[in-house]
Amino acid sequence: MGQEITLAQFRRWLLVYADRIAAEEAYLTELDAAIGDADHGANMHRGMSKVRDRLADPSLQAGDISALLRIVAMTLISSVGGAAGPLYGAFFLRAAQDSAQAHAGDAVTLERLAAMFRSGLEGVQQRGKAQLNDKTMIDALQPAVEALEAAAENGATVSEALQAARAAAEKGARHTIAIQANKGRASYLGARSIGHQDPGATSVLFLIEAAATALGQEAPVNQPATRA
Ligand code: ADP
Ligand code: MG
């Protein structure tokens, strides 16, 4: 059995993501201003700030990975008004359910992580009914999940697998510039949505980048970080 990803790493993933969303709020708002209603940055920032508060609350400490992801899902569903809140909620809820069914407890293998992300993707698809190339979150999430699965099958390390997922998410998010929106608010623009990167695909890219940072880290936390 390969290397395991721990509950502490999942917690760190969410905190790294909350930081990234805070740093990129204006950028996500700018993207949504071009093809939506300019609230994706504010929506995600509100939701992830609430997640950070919940994770800091000592009375709400999650006992295992599934409980942690369920708290994240419920917090996003209840605090994010836009389309993205329930969709992110579906991702985390389904990932939580998958890890609970697998009795994952407080550590998971790369194979289980890939299965959790696959379940999360299915949750987003079931709720939003979007397909690849509809110019949505799916365009970053699906390639990332597929890359993670392929890497796991090929015996990659956790770090390698998450780097592959990150690269795939980035390519997918960039590809949304070239295509027309068929789902969500941006679809009202028809062909005028072409030429702009999708905000939700971009926030998903940040989620996968945060995963590569926090879940893909093989060195102990106190070891100096190296940069490629
Ligand atoms: P709203 O569209 O309600 O203002 P946000 O601005 O927070 O919500 O989120 C917009 C993002 O949600 C879009 O950029 C897109 O990626 C994502 N999105 C919208 N509808 C769907 C859907 N049906 N399936 C998947 N993602 C969607
Ligand atoms: Mg919006």
**Pairwise CA distance, residues 164 & 166, whole Å:** 5
Residue 126 alpha carbon to ligand 2 centre in Å: 20
User: How far is it, in rounded angstroms, from Cα 161 to Cα 132?
Assistant: 21
Is 141 a pocket residue for ligand 1 (Cβ < 6 Å)? no
pLDDT of residue 62: 73
For ligand 1, whether the C-beta of 52 sits within 6 Å is no
Q: What is the pLDDT of residue 228?
A: 45
The rounded distance, in Å, linking the Cα atoms of 144 and 204 is 9
Ligand 1 near 41 CB (within 6 A):
no
Q: What pLDDT does residue 165 have?
A: 98
Residue 61 has a pLDDT of 75
Find, among 121, 71, 74, 70, the residue nearest to 97 by Cα. Answer: 70
Q: What does the DSSP assignment read for 176-210?
A: GGGS---SSGGGGGGGGGTTS--HHHHHHHHHHHH
pTM: 0.94
For residue 228, what are the CA distances in angstroms to 58, 160, 218, 219? 37, 13, 15, 15
Average pLDDT by stretches of 10, the chain with 228 residues: 88 98 98 96 98 88 91 97 95 98 93 98 98 98 98 97 98 97 93 96 98 81 49
Mutate to test the pocket of ligand 1, among 183, 197, 204 (most ligand atoms within 8 A of CB): 183
